[in-house]
Amino acid sequence: MSLLRLRAALLGPARLRGAGIPWSVLRNYSSASATEKARRNAICERTELLEVLKARVKQLQASNVPEVTVNKVELAPLGNDKYQDPLRKSAAPGPAEEEPAPRGRDESPARPSSWVEKLKKEMYIRQLKVERKLSIAASQLALEGQTKAKPKGKAKTKAKAKAKKSLKSPKAKVAAAWSQSHAGPQGVYARGKPRVAAVKEGAKAQRPRRVLEDKDSSQYKILQQTIQSNLECFLFLQQPEEAERFLLLYHRSPVKRRLLNVNAYNIVMRSWARKGHLQRISRLFSMLESVGLRPSLDSYAAALECMGRDQSSTKAIWRCVQQLKNDGFHVDDLFQKCLFEEDEKEKVLRAIRIVQPNYQLPPPPNPQTCKTSLLQDFYSKEKMVSYPKLDFSVQELQERFQQQLEMELDNTVTIESVESTKPLTPQAIKARKLLATLRSQWRDSILQALQRSKNSMSKLKTASGYNILYPYLCLLPDEEYVDIMLQILNTLSPQGESLAVLARELGSKVYNRYITQRKLRSRQLEKVREVYGDYIHLLAKDSQPNEYLPREYWEKLVGEAGFGPSLNLKDCSWPYMLVMRLGMHMLELLVHAVKVPRNVLNPRLEPKLIPVLYHIYSFRSSWQVGLIKPHPIFSQIVSDAAETLLTFNSSALPMLCPPVPWTSPHFGAFVLNDTKLMRLVDGAVQHQLLLEQCPLVNLHPVLDALNQLGNCAWKINQPVLDIIISIFNDKGNEKLDIPPPISEAPRPSAAPSNSSTWNKSQKHELLLCKKKTAEMHSLRMDALYKLSIANYVRDKVFWFPHNMDFRGRTYPCPPYFNHLGNDVTRAILLFAEGRPLGPKGLDWLKIHLINLTGLKKKDALQERLEYANEIMEEILDSADRPLTGRKWWMNTDEPWQALACCMEIAKASRSPDPAAYISHFPVHQDGSCNGLQHYAALGRDLIGAISVNLMPCNVPQDVYSAVAQQVEEFRKKDAEQGVKIARVLQGFISRKVVKQTVMTVVYGVTRYGGRLQMEKRLKEIDEFPEEYLWEASHYLVKQVFNGIKEMFSATRDIQNWLTESAKLIAQSGRTVEWVTPLGLPIVQPYYRSRSTVLNCSMQNLSVKNSNSSQKPDTVKQKNAFPPNFIHSLDSTHMMLTALHCLRQGLTFVSVHDCYWTHALTVDIMNQICRQQFVALHSEKILQDLSEFMLEKYCSPGRETRALWQKKLMEQLSNVPKTGEFSLKKVMDSTYFFS
Amino acid sequence: MLAGRTPPGAADCCRRLLAAALAGGLRPLLCGLPPCWATARRAAGQWQSPGLRVPEAAEAERLMQQVQRPGVPLRRFIVCPQLARTVQRCLQGGTSPGPQPVLLECAPGPGILTRTLLNAGVRVIALESNSAFLPNLQSLENSLDGQLKVIYGDFFRLDPLVTGTVKPPAMCSDKLFETMGVAAVPWRADVPVKIFGILPQRKERNTLWRLLFALYECSSIYRYGRVELNIFISEKEYKVLTAKPGEARAYQALTVLWQVGCEIQLLHMWLPNDHLCLVRLTPQQNLFTGGLKPTNSANFVFMVKQCFAKPRSRLTDRLNSWSLDNGGKLLRELEIPKNAETRNLYPEDYRRLFEALQNSNMFTETWFHDEVLESIRNINL
């Protein structure tokens, strides 16, 4: 027995790795000397081992086998565990008896009573004690055992099988794979380390558990997330037995158990509750108790639901409710805090009513109001005005909602592309037919491959306990997976696509459909439909005015609805690595299953089936990227077929009804499609966590602003769209930014057929052509998508739901066609709502037109207007004969918007009463160097304020010219004093030279980057002597910085203060966080990324995973803080403007620092914009930031009073001084935004 | 083992293999150490033939300081007479008696080795890219009767892929060979030209790849026959070039391709400090006798690179991923085990594999061509 125990203990490392705690995390616990010794020892072992192996191989090999083989077999065991050992896969569950919890693989789930658990725990601790005595020796032994056993098969296989089996989470697998992937000693090293760590970790009595959780909470979180998403799958699949089996795998191992939290148990409880198995639930309760976890509210909800379902005895329910109260909960909490699906809520209520027949649901919580001083007016009930109505009846909106819902239920939308008007060639007809045949064959073969793989996985499942992906391949009907894979195949460009991109796309498509299914299953959708039906009364023209904001109204309706499922799904997002792994698996299936006869285009060839997709590597200097490329035959057929149908995700199209209002970080935007309130950098979860922790009421302003932006209705400017499409379908026009078709791509001049005989210049030419073609292809496709979507909605009114990035900058969700796009896309968008031009509207249209041309930038508004009147003839000519006339519009900065504006001016000026003309045209107002505007306001820099138009002036000021002037002054002085380079630069300093650097100063450009910019500009000047480039650019960047410092004296100080603070914070190991004046919490998601390697049979995919280490990336944290902070301010300013425009009944949208409204309301918008800027900067922004950070990073409660902390405190308290600019002046500044 | 070859005191002397910093004094010049002066003086005066005085290290240093300019990347020169002599012996060793091919010395700089070689009776062509060194070299050229020829140009910027006029010191190989007066000889003929150079540290690997492409395509310098390269490379790269199958990190695509393409010979090794190896790369006479031809060799290069992109993958998997459907049969015929990993194949096996694939017409598929072109572009730019 003791021997057995020892062996079990020695197998520790495998078990530990299985638990998915990466060794690097645990490194902190292990003693360096021990590991070092172990490592050296391991190397010796390996050399010995090699000798043995060689001899053995020689024995085994037949003498005539080539030497290579011998060599190979010798080497195989060195590092690559992955391919060499098929035995491992089929390994019988041999090591069961060696496990501390022996019943892991029993067919019927074990029924551990708590005393068994306790006993087991005790035994384990005793084992640990023995182990600790053995300490280093033991770890060496273990290594020896492992290494030696490896080639022999049996013992090693067992250990391996065990490791394999216990790799529950992809994370775990990855962690293990990562350590394996290192050849040579590291592999052993990795194995050796956690061994020692395990002992110490295991003996947790001495070590507070907090250390692990704190140290790597994000890593920990991902592992937990993986476990939970797996359990959720089983819940969704209604397989409580599987869920429990999976849970037990973790529960039984004292190390792995750490990854379980009460939520994991709750999910299993819920799966049983749905089936009404109360006994199982009570057993889970005792399991919770045995591991020292407290049941949460959700646990009780599951228990009560189950009781409600199987009509338990009053006594049982009473006991349960009693226990709930003993744990400090209240019955009302159940209904206020828990999230329910399907009929869970009703069942819980039923159970409660068995013991308290008169129980009434608690009333919905009183809506809270945001207290930000900036929005006191906005939220005050006295001044409440009714929400602006759309020009639709309830009935119409209802129909539109139905359309949108159907679109989203289909997951994808297939639309005709704008190219469909072209006539079909016979060749195309033939190719389409062929493609259709092939596709149906592919569909079959993919389906077969999928089913085969699932089948083998399910077998594997019974053999070794668990397969990570299997449940994820069961969530949808097989055909849907096939659909997804075929979609990917259809969109693959001839140049191929990187493996990682394809994998992510496949994985996330499955995820999105699963979410849709869940929403259907939980009957969440039904409820959304119901609430939305009432909600549109707020917006429809034929309903009573309501004094609510969309969010408030929605919340009210939800509160009134009472029963049914919650609208928020319980958190069910999949970890990034899992998405990738699933995607890779599907990609592998696709690559293997899809084949085409080789002779399909050339009948003379042999009729052999060859794969359509192949996997190759592309080399980029020092690294390589795996690509999936379609076979040229396939690309040829696709291009011949010239198919004109485009398939998009339903979330890629604008919405056909007003978006669902954002009411929480989890809910809003599309009806079904899962949308994040904050766009996440791949894999980063920190901002999501931060949003969840933040009291919801603090997010109200941000949510309301997003709702306001999303509620703007749009329509298509059809005449402009038609002109664009006609050019697009003709030959395109690069000057007008309409990408030409590939047929217009340059062709190499008469290349000989055999590429090998080409000379250098021919090859070069060919390469250039190919590069150009590839570029053209992507530009063309992008334009095709945009125009086709625009064309699809040409007769409709549509909406762009909005979300934001981590700094609060807002973006429309649909990716291709939206108002953030280029000139072409902006030109085809109009407000769906029309407003009369009013007395000044036509003038604004004209000024807007001149702004779009890029002319007259330095002139006053009046002069721009006069200029417009002067060239009225050109404007009308452009409007009337855009393609046949004098084409004035084509030579402007933004030709398409200019053309659209010309047309609007023509229509308005020809109408009998221009002031009454109903215009849908958006007029833009741009901030002038918005970043510097915020800096100047923060620092109250007088000269700076003047140069970025915070001060009223007769003509707009140009900051770039001002800086250029300042630099020229410096230069003159230096030249007089005989500085050589200053003399060389005479006559070369201009606005153009300094512009880019000045612009980017706001975004934290360094001297280094600034010098490069300067060098580029100087190179463009032909007369500039080349030998002085370096010196001159160096000099110039210094002077530009000095110039800015002179003009914006406080700006540089603020920037430095921000940078330095961020540096110290990051150096102290924390990420920089702050809260915007509107209450939005922000965290900079820059971490030292570590690549984790996904072991897939096709290719090992290195996935950057910023979460696996929590350590901040100091350089990024530091450099990005000033620009991010400024961006958070400009987004705040925009949101404030949006909200106040709403109160004034204005239509308002924004493209960051460019604000759009109707011509009628430009003046009001400008006023609000200025007011809100003043209001925003009247807050003590830097003071508040300093206080927030002091509280956050230097609060006195923290135990360590290290030197850095003192330094940080000093730094943070030392807020830069400000200048004497009077902020109120902004109110009168015409050119602040213009 | 290798250190044994160097004379006693080599540790000091080897520093004279100068990492001469032209870059704004980024690296101190290492040549002015007193003990070495002595050795240098002793060594001086031994030379016969044109009887040129070889400048001492300190002199060379002065010369180099004169040409310092900011922004120019680091270059190495030989400034120690003793090392120059060792190199000269290495270069001349092992060659058969009879007329010696001309020696192209790349970037001679202060000309220490040049003089040493000239004194040993070698005909030298000096290719110098830094105009600051040119006057000295040219006056040397003028003082001799055709034994030395000086050309302005940069060996490591030969045949740039970008089109348009080639701006000196970049130059075209045909121009270079024309100036040198060397005509092309058939591949199987003797070495037409010997080249000596020190690979620029920063572009070392890139240069090796470029030379390799030229070798397999018989383009650039290899258009003129089996040009023999004698180059100083870092020990790290040397280990790569001479690695054996299965040596985990070192055995790479570069290894296979160089070993198939050239005979690789270690001439000399400076271990302390810079860890440089003087390596002779003589193209194989029989390189193009089998199925491998300059016209299809790019496919070979590409194939090997693909195989080594994932060195632990099985060869069959690789073949399958290229849409080759009868990979198994092919491997059987080549007697390569079905589960062989790509990193365990000998260079010769790759050659056989390629020839077999060539016969199976896999490379006629257009996609392979595209990729090959792409890879050439990536290496050349």
Query: How is A979-1042 classified by DSSP, letter by letter?
Result: -HHHHHTTTT--HHHHHHHHHHHTTT--HHHHHHHHHHHHHH-TTS-GGGHHHHHHHHHHHHHH
Whose CA is closest to B161, among A767, A769, A756?
A: A767
Q: Residue A796, by phi and psi: left (phi above 0), alpha (psi -120 to 50) or beta?
A: beta
Q: What is the pLDDT of residue A1107?
A: 55
Q: What is the pLDDT of residue A826?
A: 95
Residue among A46, A614, A1100 with most chain B CBs within 10 A, to mutate: A614
Measured CA to CA, the distance from residue A507 to residue A587 in angstroms comes to 10
Q: A388 touching B, CB under 8 A?
A: no
CA distance B322 to chain A (A): 5
Confidence of residue B95 (pLDDT cuts 50, 70, 90): low
- Reading the block at residue B281, the tokens are 């790369």
By CA distance, what is B293's nearest residue in A?
A756
Does the global pTM surpass 0.80?
Answer: no
Return all residues near A111 (Cβ < 8 A) that are at least 6 apart: A283
Q: Give yes or no for residue A945 having a pLDDT over 60.
A: yes
Angle in degrees, CA A1180, A1181, A1186, rounded to 5: 100
Pairwise CB contact (< 8 Å): B323 & A611: yes
Q: Which residues pair with B102 in a beta bridge?
A: B193
Return all residues near A518 (Cβ < 8 A) that are at least 6 apart: A236, A524, A569, A572
Q: What is the pLDDT of residue A751?
A: 52
Residue among B358, B370, B376, B379 with most chain A CBs within 10 A, to mutate: B370
Tell me which chain A residues have a C-beta less than 8 angstroms from the C-beta of B379: 619
Active site residues of A: 926, 995, 1153
Q: What is the pLDDT of residue B160?
A: 75
Pairwise CB contact (< 8 Å): A760 & B161: yes
Pairwise CB contact (< 8 Å): B336 & A760: no
Pairwise CB contact (< 8 Å): A1100 & B310: yes
Q: What is the pLDDT of residue B323?
A: 65
Q: How many CB pairs under 8 A join A and B?
A: 115
- Reading the block at residue A579, the tokens are 């998405």
Q: Give yes or no for residue A93 having a pLDDT over 50.
A: no
Measured CA to CA, the distance from residue A735 to residue A479 in angstroms comes to 45
Measured CA to CA, the distance from residue A890 to residue A881 in angstroms comes to 12
Q: Are B117 and B88 in contact (CB under 8 A)?
A: yes
A761 → closest Cβ in B163, B309, B317: B163
CA distance B141 to chain A (A): 30
The CB-based long-range contact list for B246-249 (8 Å cut-off, 24+ gap) reads B246/A71, B246/A72, B246/A74, B246/A75, B246/B343, B246/B344, B248/A78, B248/A79, B248/A183, B248/A184, B248/B343, B249/A183
Q: What is the pLDDT of residue A663?
A: 92
Q: Give yes or no for residue A458 having a pLDDT over 70.
A: yes
Q: What is the pLDDT of residue B55?
A: 75
- Parallel/antiparallel/unpaired status of strands A1081-1083 and A1073-1075: antiparallel
Residue located via tokens 């997330």 = A225
**Phi, psi (rounded to 5 degrees) for B68:** -60, 135
Across the range A950-963, mean pLDDT stands at 90
B378 → closest Cβ in A80, A619, A754: A619
Q: Give yes or no for residue A159 having a pLDDT over 60.
A: no
Question: Is this prediction's ipTM beyond 0.95?
Answer: no
Q: Which amino acid is at B246?
A: G
By CA distance, what is A629's nearest residue in B?
B367
- Reading the block at residue A886, the tokens are 């004098």
Ranking A48-52, A867-871, A1220-1224, B62-66 by mean pLDDT, the lowest is: A48-52
Measured CA to CA, the distance from residue A890 to residue B44 in angstroms comes to 76
Pairwise CB contact (< 8 Å): B373 & A770: yes
Residue located via tokens 């304020």 = A945
DSSP A164: H
The burial class, CB within 10 Å (0-12 / 13-18 / 19+), for A696 is middle
Q: What is the pLDDT of residue A68?
A: 34
Interface of A with B in 272-291 (CB under 8 A): none
- The mean predicted confidence, pLDDT, of chain A is 80
Q: A80 touching B, CB under 8 A?
A: yes
Q: A1099 touching B, CB under 8 A?
A: yes
Pairwise CB contact (< 8 Å): A766 & B373: yes
CA distance A750 to chain B (A): 17
Q: Give yes or no for residue A879 having a pLDDT over 70.
A: yes
Q: Are A877 and A888 in contact (CB under 8 A)?
A: yes
Q: Three-state DSSP class for A626?
A: strand
Q: A119 touching B, CB under 8 A?
A: no
Q: Give yes or no for residue A816 having a pLDDT over 90.
A: yes
Q: What is the pLDDT of residue B30?
A: 32
Return all residues near A1089 (Cβ < 8 A) that are at least 6 apart: A1104, A1105, A1106, A1109, A1113
The burial class, CB within 10 Å (0-12 / 13-18 / 19+), for A166 is buried
Q: Are B56 and B82 in contact (CB under 8 A)?
A: no
- Reading the block at residue A1095, the tokens are 């072991």
Query: What torsion do the CA atoms of A959, A964, A967, A973 make, to the nearest 10 degrees?
Result: -130
Pairwise CB contact (< 8 Å): A632 & B162: no
CA distance B290 to chain A (A): 17
Q: A183 touching B, CB under 8 A?
A: yes
A216 or A1205, which is more confident?
Answer: A1205
Measured CA to CA, the distance from residue B261 to residue B283 in angstroms comes to 6
A616 → closest Cβ in B163, B325, B371: B371
Q: Give yes or no for residue A100 having a pLDDT over 50.
A: no
A1030 → closest Cβ in B71, B245, B306: B71
Confidence of residue A370 (pLDDT cuts 50, 70, 90): confident
Ranking A1081-1090, B76-85, B322-331 by mean pLDDT, the lowest is: B322-331
- Reading the block at residue A879, the tokens are 């409007």
Q: Which amino acid is at B45?
A: G
CA distance B22 to chain A (A): 17
Pairwise CB contact (< 8 Å): A757 & B367: no
Q: Are A1130 and A1173 in contact (CB under 8 A)?
A: no
Across the range B33-62, mean pLDDT stands at 50
Share of chain B above pLDDT 70, in %: 73
A965 or A36, which is more confident?
Answer: A965
Residue among B300, B312, B332 with most chain A CBs within 10 A, to mutate: B312
- Reading the block at residue A311, the tokens are 């009509």
B367 → closest Cβ in A617, A631, A765: A631
A764 → closest Cβ in B161, B309, B310: B161
Q: A83 touching B, CB under 8 A?
A: yes
Interface of A with B in 45-74 (CB under 8 A): 65-66, 68-69, 71-72, 74
Pairwise CB contact (< 8 Å): B367 & A756: no
By CA distance, what is A757's nearest residue in B?
B295
Q: Give yes or no for residue A566 having a pLDDT over 60.
A: yes
B321 → closest Cβ in A68, A76, A616: A616
Across the range A857-885, mean pLDDT stands at 94
Q: Three-state DSSP class for B151?
A: strand
CA distance B252 to chain A (A): 13
What are the pLDDT digits (tens) for A1121-1159?
Answer: 999 999 999 999 999 999 999 988 999 999 988 999 999
Q: What is the pLDDT of residue B67?
A: 59
Q: Three-state DSSP class for A252?
A: coil
Our measurement of the distance from residue B14's CA atom to the centroid of its chain's CA atoms, rounded to an integer in Å, reads: 21
Q: What is the pLDDT of residue B66?
A: 60
